[in-house]
Amino acid sequence: MILRRHLSITARLLLATLLAALAGFPLYWMLATAITPSSQLFNGAQPLIPDFTRIPNAFQALAGGTPFLRWMTNSGIVAGGTTIFSLLLATLAAYALSRYRFRGKGLIGFGFFATQMLPEALLVVPMYSLFMSLGLLNQLHGLIMVDTAIATPVATWVLKAAIDTVPYEIEEAGLLDGCGPLRVLGRIVVPIIAPSLAAAGVICFFDGWGEYLFATTFIEDKSRWVASTGLASFIGEFETPLDLVFSAALIFTIPAIIFFVIVQRRIVSGLAAGSVKG
Amino acid sequence: MTYQTSTKGKRWAVRLTPYLLIGSATIYLLVFIGVPLLQGARLSFTDTRLLNPSAGRWVGVDNYARLLTDGQFLGSIATTLLYTVLTVAATMFLGSVSAFTINHTFPGRAVARSLMVFPWAVPTVAVALVFRWIYNDNSGVANSALKTLGIGQVGWLTNPDFGLLSVIIATVWKISPFVMLVVLASLQSVPLELYEAAKVDGANPWKSFTTVTLPYILPTLKTVALLMTIWSFRRFEIIWLLTGGGPADATNTIVINVYRQAFNNSRLGFAAAIGMIGLLMSVVITVTYFIVEARTERKETRA
């Protein structure tokens, strides 16, 4: 019995190590490439284990003279704005979908889901002309508006599932005290579904932080580029040293990972609320 | 009298509340997604070109008729289906195995769990950059590894036989963590009493997996599989940044085809028609899913 337990723990440990190694390798390789001098990178000469004393070189893309810090700031603005606006729209919508019966509810719910099927490549041309007529091209807030439209339906879905699990009796107390629905939502429901808000927030943040197609099509001005546009401009270009490119890629990745680690525990419980009902 | 008016007013307010709550998001999505979609649908019946968009003429179903005999388009349907099926199967498998592995305690679990979910956080452009470098013909670590094994090098992104596989590997790496997180969340919500009851009944671990765990998480698995399917069907960025649809159209999925027709060949009308067909296929898959779901549910309640 004890032997069997040992075996199963060992097997699990091995499997976990294998999976973690597979998941971790490309990230490790990003770091390894960023800290290896360009001259050692080509024709199979790249060492599997880099010289780790060169770690500071991982941050070389932040040095003065490179536009990368500016692009990252822009990405941060877009991701932050997207998260705030999507969560606001989604919380209100999710509360309505979860708590009220009203005409057109099924249709609206389906409409929200249907947005997940729309290919961006089909929308990008009509959206370009819409944004041109609204004077929103080449603006970071224009990009926030696009990304909010992309992120809101998924956030609504996660939050609706979370509100579904909140017992209605808790709210009734507030309603009896004469609070309006907005107050009940803000004072009673939102604190309870905080983990799901964190989960939805991460999804929105990633949408804004990493989005590439619209960012590249809508923003022409190089000083207003976001990091994904800037980074993609290095693809197929051979002037920028490769270690510098990977330093940029790494620096672009790190904030997303940090943000993720902070809310990681909440994500699982937040998604759990949504997955009970499937 | 005043009392009556006020209740009447209140009833109206109650009735209006849900519309006010959901209105902002709905109007927002109608303006920024609904309107462009209708525009796209209209474009698909015109011969609009990118260089002079206002000069497009109404051509009826010409674009759609042309698609029936367009070899590149028919090929892109096959590529999309293959990409979707393989990606969904691989992410569901890898994501579920990861979730089951991480759902029990073992030394180093927290570190393993973090490493396993990190890929989801990596921005797509960074994923594309690092995988392009790993796959590089002469300098990539994938070929270095093959050489050490004595297999010789493979054109991961340059050989049409390998292009789709390479793109699928990169995609699976990036999105499996999402499946893992959702399945893990579902696993952790299985009531422990159910396992205890199974134990009392003398069920071995495999038996309790098939009779307790699996039925409990099955709805979640189905939902995630549907999401993965419709997301894979329209996935653009990672494919575009890795191969741009090449080599020799090996990764030319429907959405990549839309983009190339619109921006490389400047045929906006034709591109929109391809996009509409792609959307239609997604809708058919989703509706089929819901019909099958409703049917099995009805059967189960009857039995």
Q: Which CATH number is A168's domain given?
A: 1.10.3720.10
A257: left (phi over 0), alpha (psi -120 to 50) or beta: alpha
SS3 label, residue B157: coil
Cross-chain Cβ contact A125/B138 below 8 Å: no
Residue pair A243/A34 in contact by the 8 Å Cβ criterion: yes
Minimal CA separation from B130 to chain A, in Å: 6
Whether the full predicted model's pTM is greater than 0.80, yes or no, is: yes
A163: amino acid identity, one letter: I
Residues 6+ apart with CB under 8 A from A69: A62
Q: For chain A, which ranges sit under pLDDT 50? A: 275-278
Residue B117 has a pLDDT of 92
- Domain B47-302 belongs to what architecture? Orthogonal Bundle (1.10)
Residue pair A217/A92 in contact by the 8 Å Cβ criterion: no
CB of B24 less than 8 A from some CB of A:
yes
Cross-chain Cβ contact B21/A100 below 8 Å: yes
Give the C-alpha separation, B7 to A124, whole Å.
48
Q: For chain B, which ranges sit under pLDDT 70? A: 1-10, 302-303
Q: What is the ipTM of this complex?
A: 0.92
Give the C-alpha separation, A97 to A91, whole Å.
10
Q: Can you name the residues that pair with B49 across neighbouring β-strands?
A: B267
- Stated length of chain A: 278
Cross-chain Cβ contact B122/A256 below 8 Å: yes
Chain B residues with CB inside 8 Å of A20's CB? 111-112, 115-116
Give the C-alpha separation, B175 to B179, whole Å.
7
Residue A69 included in any domain: no
User: Which residues form the domain of A206?
Assistant: 83-275
Cross-chain Cβ contact B258/A268 below 8 Å: no
| CB neighbours of residue B153 within 10 Å | 16
Which residue ranges make up each domain of chain B?
47-302
Phi, psi of B60 (to 5 degrees): 65, -140
The DSSP string of A2-60 is HHHHHHHHHHHHHHHHHHHHHHHHHHHHHHHHHTS-GGGSTTTT--SS--GGGGGGGGG
Residue B107 has a pLDDT of 83
- 3-state helix, strand and coil shares in percent for chain A, rounded to the nearest 5: 80, 0, 20
The DSSP string of B191-215 is -HHHHHHHHHTT--HHHHIIIIIHH
Q: Enter the tokens of residue A188.
A: 């009673």
Q: Enter the tokens of residue A224.
A: 């207003």
Residue A60 included in any domain: no
Chain A residues with CB inside 8 Å of B124's CB? 210, 212, 228
How many Cβ pairs closer than 8 A exist between chain A and B? Answer: 290
A35: amino acid identity, one letter: I
Chain B residues with CB inside 8 Å of A235's CB? 128-129, 132, 241
Chain B residues with CB inside 8 Å of A269's CB? 185, 188
Vertex A260 angle, CA A149 and A59, to 5°: 105
Residue A30 included in any domain: no
Give the C-alpha separation, B9 to B20, whole Å.
15
Taken in order A167, A97, A270, B95, is the CA torsion positive or negative?
A: positive
Residue A193 included in any domain: yes
Cross-chain Cβ contact B36/A97 below 8 Å: no
- The number of distinct structural domains making up chain A is 1
